[in-house]
Structure 1
Amino acid sequence: MQVLWNTLVMCCTGFVIIISKLISNAMYEVLWYNMPSCDSRIILFMILRCQKRLTITAGRFIDLTLEGFTSIVKASVSYISVLNAMY
C-alpha cells in the first residue's frame, strides 16, 4: 500500500512540474508588448518568475529536476515490474 501511495504522490508531483512548464511556455507566447502597461507588467513578472528552475528537494540532499524525476520514476517502475515477475 505504501508503494502505491508513494507512486501516486510522485506522479502528482510530476504533473505539477509539467503544468508549471506549460504555463511558462504560454507566457512566452503572449504578445505582452502589445498590451496596456499594467497588463504587460504582470505578464513580465510571470515570465521572470518562470525563468527560475522548479526543483524538488529530495531529503534535503539532492535537487531533482524534471529529467532526474523521470529517470527515478522509470527506475522505480522497472524495479516494481521485476519484483512482480519474481513473486
Structure 2
Amino acid sequence: MYDIQKNKTRTRAAKICLQSGLYRVQYSVFLGVMEKNEFDSLHLQLEELIDEEKDSIYMFPMSKDELKQTVLLGQAFDKDFVTDEVRSLFF
C-alpha cells in the first residue's frame, strides 16, 4: 500500500505493481503472491521511484496461512478491483 503525493509517480507505482503480478484491491492497495526475488525487485523499483521525504510505501510479506486468517469487515474491497483468483484466497 502506498501514499504518494505526485500523480505521475503514483500512476507509475501502480503500473509497476500491476506489472509485477499484483492485483489492485483498493486504489492504493495491492495484493498478490510473489517469490522472494520478485518481492526484492519490486522493493528496489519502488524505492527508486518515490521521494522518500514525502511519500510512503508499506510492503507486508505474509504466508498463505496468514493471508487466510485475514479478517475483512464490511465492504473490504472495491469489487471492481478484485478478481476471482484473489477472492479465492480468503475462503
User: TM-score over 0.5 for the alignment?
Assistant: no
Larger Rg: 1
Higher relative contact order (CA 8 A, sep 6+): 2
TM category, shorter: under 0.3
